[in-house]
Amino acid sequence: MPSTRIKSSMRPLARGKKVRSIKVPQDISEQSKISGYVFSRRFKKRARISSVRISDSFAAGTAAYARAKLASRVASDSDGAPVIGDNYIRIKIDSSHANAGSDASKILMRFGDNKQVGLLGFATTKFPKGATMKWDLNGVQDYVETIPTDLWDEITLENPSGDGMKIDNVEIVHSDVAILDWDCNAWLDGSKGERHGRLGLAAKILEKKLDAIDNNWLPQIHWAARELGKADGTKYGSTGAWCSEFASWALRKALWETPPGNIGSQSMENYFDGLERKFTISQILNGDYVLNAGDYVRFQWSDGGQHSGIFMEYLDSSSSPTNNTRVRTIEGNTGSTVKVRTRKFKDVISVGNTR
């Protein structure tokens, strides 16, 4: 694996070094009050612990509650976002063009104007024709956790060398979510046009995210999809668990007056109940209500933990619903990030009609 370097002040990640992913419980209940920061390297330094014990019952256990207050302070003090799950960039160099390879020493992966990661080539062959090269960003977690969450939408590749390379494909995974997989077939060449060759990825990142929702035009789904892979709940109003805050944020983008700040799924349910737009799971199973794309959904897990999401579509028939009927949702703080999920009605408490 090529090494990874952060500017000149950071130590490079040695080639071939295996970097372990940071795995978190897939469903963290809002009752735990914890955010993804409890799994971050910054949190471990503040807590003076070497590792965070992770299990399926972590979010419901006393360890989560004990760490929630510190995680909240870390979130408040942070200028970036926690590094959750897999985070990497993979580049495939074209194999057909005679000059596709390059002797450039590195590619710069820029996040906005002020943050950058140096993607080093192989020691001798640099960026050889036909090579597939992967850089694990978890290897420089301390630095990546200083990158503001929205700058993952503004990634640019730059070749500071005059020796260009032809890139066949670029893939980026952020917090276990693929935010880019582009067959670009493009030259990254510092000798062409500008002082440095640049390849802007923002448009293709947005295209990839919107493809995950089948380019749904509903504003709350559209805005939620733009956040896929993001792990910083402070953007949505919470330094703890942030599933309801995220759902409320997306709905406010659609001009619903849902509650802001640190809230919970009960507050969201109360909001729709006050508008006489709340429907229970019993009404759904009885056929009295069929969900619409963009509806608010309140969940409850078997251990009593609760969660929020936004409904996207039925995966099974909506005409004869059962507890096992599957639906697709988009949610915040699921695995401590924003993801598209498949759920069953057995976990639904109520919904809020947004038609």
Q: What is the DSSP string of 12-58?
A: PBPTT-----B---SB--GGG---GGGGSHHHHHHHT-S-----TTG
Q: Which long-range contacts (CB under 8 A, 24 or more apart) does 19-22 make?
A: 19/136, 19/138, 19/139, 20/138, 21/85, 21/86, 21/138, 22/83, 22/84, 22/85, 22/138, 22/141
C-alpha span between 268 and 244 (Å, rounded): 7
What pLDDT band is residue 1 in, cutting at 50, 70 and 90? low
C-alpha span between 21 and 16 (Å, rounded): 15
What pLDDT band is residue 27 in, cutting at 50, 70 and 90? confident
323 in any annotated domain: yes
C-alpha span between 130 and 162 (Å, rounded): 20
71 in any annotated domain: no
Domain stop point among 194, 211, 228: 211
Both 239 and 189 in one domain: the answer is no
The residue among 64 and 36 whose pLDDT is bigger is: 36
Total domains in the chain come to 2
201 in any annotated domain: yes
DSSP 11: P
Domain stop point among 187, 211, 235: 211
Tell me the per-residue pLDDT of 129-183, one tens digit each, with 9 for 90 and over: 999 999 999 999 999 999 999 999 999 999 988 899 999 999 999 999 999 999 9
What pLDDT band is residue 28 in, cutting at 50, 70 and 90? confident
C-alpha span between 295 and 283 (Å, rounded): 15
Both 197 and 224 in one domain: the answer is no
Check if the beta carbon of residue 253 is closer than 8 Å to that of residue 247.
Answer: no
pLDDT at 11 exceeding the cut of 50: no
DSSP 341: E
In this prediction the pTM is 0.91
Q: What is the pLDDT of residue 8?
A: 33
Pairing state between β 186-188 and 326-334: unpaired
C-alpha span between 46 and 68 (Å, rounded): 13
pLDDT at 56 exceeding the cut of 80: no
- Distance, C-alpha 250 to centroid of its chain: 15
DSSP 190: T
Both 200 and 152 in one domain: the answer is yes
The residue range of the domain holding 321 is 219-352
Write down the residue that tokens 């709350």 correspond to: 220
Both 132 and 264 in one domain: the answer is no
CB within 8 A of 279, min separation 6: which ones? Answer: 288, 289, 350, 351, 352, 353
C-alpha span between 220 and 204 (Å, rounded): 21
User: Of 36-45, 132-141, 278-287, where does the model show the most confidence?
Assistant: 278-287
Both 203 and 262 in one domain: the answer is no
The residue among 303 and 253 whose pLDDT is bigger is: 253
Pairing state between β 306-314 and 326-334: antiparallel
Both 302 and 334 in one domain: the answer is yes
Kindly state the average pLDDT of the residues 269-283: 98
Q: For residue 31, give the nearest of 64, 8, 2, 4 by alpha carbon.
A: 64
Cross-strand bridge partners of residue 177 = 174
SS3 185: coil
Q: What is the pLDDT of residue 13?
A: 41
Q: What is the pLDDT of residue 189?
A: 87
C-alpha span between 92 and 234 (Å, rounded): 35
55 in any annotated domain: no
Give the CATH number for residue 331.
Answer: 3.90.1720
Both 10 and 136 in one domain: the answer is yes
Both 333 and 279 in one domain: the answer is yes
C-alpha span between 60 and 263 (Å, rounded): 19
Q: What is the pLDDT of residue 212?
A: 95
33 in any annotated domain: no
Cα distances (Å, whole numbers) of residue 301 to 104, 107, 240, 253, 293: 52, 45, 19, 28, 22
Domain stop point among 211, 230, 262: 211
Q: For residue 276, give the nearest of 294, 289, 263 by alpha carbon.
A: 289
80 in any annotated domain: no
- Taking residue 207's Cβ as centre, other Cβ atoms within 10 Å add up to 12
Both 224 and 346 in one domain: the answer is yes
| Tokens matching residue 107 | 């590619």
pLDDT at 75 exceeding the cut of 70: yes
Check if the beta carbon of residue 235 is closer than 8 Å to that of residue 319.
Answer: no
Both 102 and 246 in one domain: the answer is no
pLDDT at 71 exceeding the cut of 80: yes
- Count Cα neighbours of 80 within 13 Å in the Cβ-side half-sphere: 20
Q: What is the pLDDT of residue 304?
A: 84
Q: What is the pLDDT of residue 278?
A: 98
Both 189 and 243 in one domain: the answer is no
User: Rounded to 5, what percent of the chain is helix, strand, coil?
Assistant: 25, 30, 45
294 in any annotated domain: yes
CB within 8 A of 302, min separation 6: which ones? Answer: none
Both 234 and 325 in one domain: the answer is yes
Q: What is the pLDDT of residue 12?
A: 41
Give the CATH number for residue 181.
Answer: 2.60.60.20
151 in any annotated domain: yes
